[in-house]
């Protein structure tokens, strides 16, 4: 089975060519504006979401520090292995 698209014939009338060019440019412009609107909505929503999270974390920190007089430092716990530089390490 062979699939082929029909040949695109350009209009011979110069006015029809100019009109099709203007319609094409208008469609591309509308798509660009729509894309910019979507990107700006996502950007503003993301900034608002981050600001809301930071505001909630800030208020939680203030309330927790005021209720507890002795503040325990946050410690990263884990297992550590000392590696000697002179010898190769075998596992």
Does residue 35 have a pLDDT over 90?
Answer: yes
| Selected residue with higher pLDDT from 90 and 48 | 48
Q: What is the pLDDT of residue 8?
A: 76
Q: What would the pLDDT profile of 42-56 be if each residue is shown by its tens digit?
A: 999 999 999 999 989
Query: Does residue 70 carry a pLDDT above 60?
Result: yes
Nearest of 1, 24, 21 to residue 11 by alpha carbon: 21
pLDDT at residue 57, rounded to an integer: 87
Of 10, 38, 40, nearest in space to 24 by CA: 10
Whole-angstrom Cα distance, residue 60 to residue 77?
Answer: 24
Of 60 and 63, more confident: 60
């Amino acid at each position: 089975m062979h699939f082929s698209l029909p040949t695109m014939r350009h209009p011979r009338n110069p006015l029809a060519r100019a009109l099709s060019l203007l319609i094409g440019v208008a469609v591309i412009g509308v798509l660009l504006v729509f894309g910019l609107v979507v990107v700006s909505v996502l950007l503003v929503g993301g900034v608002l979401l981050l600001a809301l999270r930071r505001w909630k974390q800030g208020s939680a920190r203030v309330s927790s520090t005021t209720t507890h007089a002795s503040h325990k430092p946050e410690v990263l716990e884990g297992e550590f292995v000392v590696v000697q530089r002179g010898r190769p390490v075998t596992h």
